[in-house]
């Protein structure tokens, strides 16, 4: 290991190399150091895992054929451990058959390189994977900032604290109930958390006003759908949730805002959020009214489901899901 204590992880990326042949380790260490990387070395998978758990590893290069845990298994374990933070893995293999390649990709490897390898090809692949990692981190950083802003925004108003998180959780449950894939569930959940992010720019005195809003105040509040979309649009990773943010106040009968879309013109994600947002608002207290019980809110939604606010079919599905949850003792917290 060339450096055991580093404060800054970008100027000198670190590579974990695991190979049971000490001569291969020495060779790879010399190549990587010459290319400007820090190197952590291990001659077996368990030592590699130990280094990975205790050091800032940016990328791993693993030999496939090792006694004990082989490179495929080690790759899968490293990927499981680094779920929250992308860590590229390259497998070095003497096996050149397509079955091994498939096995490597299934283990989550970002690339497989055949031995004997070409040094400049290996370094080029490492640099491009490190660039990809950097992009992942920038995206995560930006998303974290936006998520933090939502919490900060809600903390200004005791009446809305937790609303976004609850709508986010309900969004995931509802999309699972509707049979959406895990990836789609994650998108709808993110949209649920961020649907009101545009309220960030609205003054507290208007948001918490206990009396009737003036026409201008009402117009200002309605703009939160457009402002929210503008806040999230620059992030590629937010593209899929923009329709949820912009259209969550549209109505099935076309009398909503901001674009007065109607029926299935309103994107599915927004039709779902409209129902979940309304439900959570009903079971939460507001300065101008007390909260409803879950039972009373569901009853009211059932009686109004064909009145033009929500997609009737989706409302029916939501009521079915919630009635089951209520029967199981669901409480609004
Ligand atoms: Fe809203």
pLDDT band of residue 333 (cuts 50, 70, 90) is: low
Distance 254 CA to ligand 1 centre (A): 17
Distance 224 CA to ligand 1 centre (A): 7
Instruction: Tell me which of 157 and 299 has the higher pLDDT.
Output: 299
Tokens of 256: 């909503």
Encode 157-185: b = buried (16+ Cβ within 10 Å), e = exposed: eebbebbbbbbbbbbbbbbbbbebeeebb
Residues 232 and 164 occupy one common structural domain: yes
Q: Which residues contact 51 (CB under 8 A, 6 or more apart)?
A: 16, 40, 42, 57
Distance 274 CA to ligand 1 centre (A): 8
Distance 286 CA to ligand 1 centre (A): 14
Residues 295 and 222 occupy one common structural domain: yes
Residues 160 and 114 occupy one common structural domain: no
What's the confidence (pLDDT) of residue 143? 80
| Section 312-332 average pLDDT | 89
Which of 136, 171, 186 is at the close of a domain? 136
How many CB atoms sit inside 10 A of residue 128's CB? Answer: 13
Among residues 89, 87, 113, the alpha carbon closest in space to that of 100 is found at 113
Residues 168 and 92 occupy one common structural domain: no
Distance 329 CA to ligand 1 centre (A): 28
Q: Is residue 7 part of a domain?
A: no
pLDDT band of residue 278 (cuts 50, 70, 90) is: very high
Residues 193 and 64 occupy one common structural domain: no
| Section 281-306 average pLDDT | 90
Q: Is residue 206 part of a domain?
A: yes
Q: Is residue 144 part of a domain?
A: no
What is the C-alpha to C-alpha distance for residues 52 and 88, in angstroms, rounded to an integer?
12
What's the confidence (pLDDT) of residue 10? 47
Distance 164 CA to ligand 1 centre (A): 10
Distance 196 CA to ligand 1 centre (A): 5
Distance 293 CA to ligand 1 centre (A): 21
pLDDT tens for 155-192 read 777 777 889 999 999 999 999 999 999 999 999 999 99
Domain count, the chain: 2
Distance 186 CA to ligand 1 centre (A): 20
Residues 167 and 308 occupy one common structural domain: yes
Residues 131 and 36 occupy one common structural domain: yes
Distance 180 CA to ligand 1 centre (A): 23
Instruction: Tell me which of 150 and 75 has the higher pLDDT.
Output: 75
Tokens of 236: 């590629």
What's the confidence (pLDDT) of residue 98? 77
Residues 29 and 127 occupy one common structural domain: yes
pLDDT tens for 237-273 read 788 999 999 999 999 999 999 999 999 999 999 999 9
Q: What is the average pLDDT value for the chain, to the nearest integer?
A: 89
Q: Is residue 214 part of a domain?
A: yes
pLDDT tens for 17-53 read 999 999 999 999 999 999 999 999 999 999 999 999 9
Distance 75 CA to ligand 1 centre (A): 43
- Examine the pLDDT at 123 and tell me if it is beyond 50: yes
Which of 104, 136, 168 is at the close of a domain? 136
Residues 129 and 175 occupy one common structural domain: no
Percentage above 70 pLDDT, the chain: 96
Distance 249 CA to ligand 1 centre (A): 6
Residues 84 and 187 occupy one common structural domain: no
Give the CATH number, domain containing residue 129.
3.40.50.2300
Q: Is residue 147 part of a domain?
A: no
Give the CATH number, domain containing residue 298.
1.10.3210.10
Q: Is residue 51 part of a domain?
A: yes
Distance 113 CA to ligand 1 centre (A): 50
| Section 277-301 average pLDDT | 91
Residues 301 and 176 occupy one common structural domain: yes
Residues 266 and 315 occupy one common structural domain: yes
Distance 60 CA to ligand 1 centre (A): 44
pLDDT tens for 87-114 read 999 999 887 777 888 889 899 999 999 8
Task: Classify burial at 237, counting beta carbons within 10 Å of its beta carbon; exposed 0-12, middle 13-18, buried 19 or more.
Answer: middle
Query: What Å distances lie between residue 204 and 10, 153, 159, 229, CA to CA?
Result: 40, 10, 11, 20
Which H/E stretch holds residue 168?
A: helix 163-177
Task: Classify burial at 206, counting beta carbons within 10 Å of its beta carbon; exposed 0-12, middle 13-18, buried 19 or more.
Answer: middle
Tokens of 318: 């939501």
Query: What Å distances lie between residue 55 and 9, 51, 78, CA to CA?
Result: 11, 6, 13
User: Could you tell me the residue range of the domain that residue 312 belongs to?
Assistant: 156-327
Mark the residues whose beta carbon lies below 5 A from ion ligand 1: 196
């Amino acid at each position: 290991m060339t450096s055991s204590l580093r404060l800054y992880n970008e100027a000198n990326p670190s590579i974990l190399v695991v190979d049971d042949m000490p001569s291969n380790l020495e060779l790879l260490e010399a190549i990587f150091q010459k290319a400007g990387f820090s190197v952590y070395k291990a001659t077996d998978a368990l030592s590699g895992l130990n280094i990975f758990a205790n050091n800032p590893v940016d990328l791993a290069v693993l030999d496939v054929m090792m006694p004990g845990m082989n490179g495929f298994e080690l790759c899968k374990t490293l990927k499981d451990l680094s779920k929250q933070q992308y860590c590229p893995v390259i497998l070095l293999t003497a096996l050149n058959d397509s079955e091994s390649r498939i096995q490597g990709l299934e283990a989550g490897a970002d690339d497989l390189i055949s031995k004997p390898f070409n040094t400049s090809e290996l370094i080029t692949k490492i640099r491009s994977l490190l660039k990809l990692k950097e992009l992942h981190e920038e995206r995560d950083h930006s998303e974290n900032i936006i998520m933090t802003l939502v919490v900060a925004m809600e903390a200004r108003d005791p009446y809305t604290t937790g609303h976004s998180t609850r709508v986010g959780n309900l969004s995931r449950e509802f999309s699972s109930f509707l049979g959406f894939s895990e990836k789609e569930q994650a998108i709808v959940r993110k949209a649920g958390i961020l649907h009101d992010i545009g309220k960030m720019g609205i003054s507290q005195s208007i948001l918490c006003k206990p009396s009737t809003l003036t026409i201008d105040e009402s117009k200002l509040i309605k703009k939160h759908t457009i402002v929210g979309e503008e806040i999230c649009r620059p992030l590629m990773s937010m593209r899929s949730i923009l329709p949820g943010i912009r259209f969550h106040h549209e109505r099935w009968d076309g009398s909503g805002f901001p674009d007065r879309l109607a029926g299935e013109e309103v994107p599915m994600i927004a039709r779902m959020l409209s129902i979940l947002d309304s439900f959570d608002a009903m079971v939460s207290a507001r300065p101008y009214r007390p909260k409803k019980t879950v039972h009373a809110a569901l009853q009211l939604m059932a009686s109004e489901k064909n009145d033009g606010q929500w997609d009737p079919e989706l409302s029916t599905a939501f009521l079915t899901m919630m009635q089951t949850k209520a029967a199981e003792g669901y409480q609004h917290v």
